[in-house]
Amino acid sequence: MSIIRNSIAVLALLASPIPAAAQENYETWAPLTDPFASTGGGGIMIHDYDPVVAGGKCTTNFRAIDPNGAVYRNTIVFEAVEVQGGTLCANGKWRSIDGSASGTTPFRVFLKNGVKRGSAD
């Protein structure tokens, strides 16, 4: 019985949409620039990243451009949570527009008063 209770407690923690670091001051993050370096590395730069919040989600289309100039068109959907007078976009899931690739990202975005800030921490 205690194994079941412990499993339920662990699952409840894992299901939490935003990590326990909710006490972090998101307004200290650097404003997003266009372009910015991809969290995936490899010299890939992210362009046209402009998240919009609607229906409990943050979404944007964007371009990933590799050092050789190849352009990859993608879209991303984050969970949106109201915090610190703004919106935190976390737990992002991206996919290529043509459906050939997909994944997740540690990148998070904080939107407040028209300012968009990002962090991969």
pLDDT tens, residue by residue, 74-121: 999 999 999 999 999 999 999 999 999 999 999 999 999 999 999 988
Compute the average pLDDT of residues 33-49: 95
Contact 92, 77 (CB under 8 A): yes
pTM of the predicted model over 0.85: no
DSSP secondary structure code for residue 50 in this structure: -
Compute the average pLDDT of residues 58-86: 98
What are the angstrom distances between the C-alpha of 47 and each of 8, 51, 60, 67, 71? Answer: 41, 12, 11, 13, 10
List Cβ neighbours of 26 (8 Å cut-off, separation of 6 or more): 83, 84, 86, 88, 110, 112, 117, 119
| Percent share of the chain, pLDDT over 90 | 78
The predicted pLDDT at position 103 comes to 96
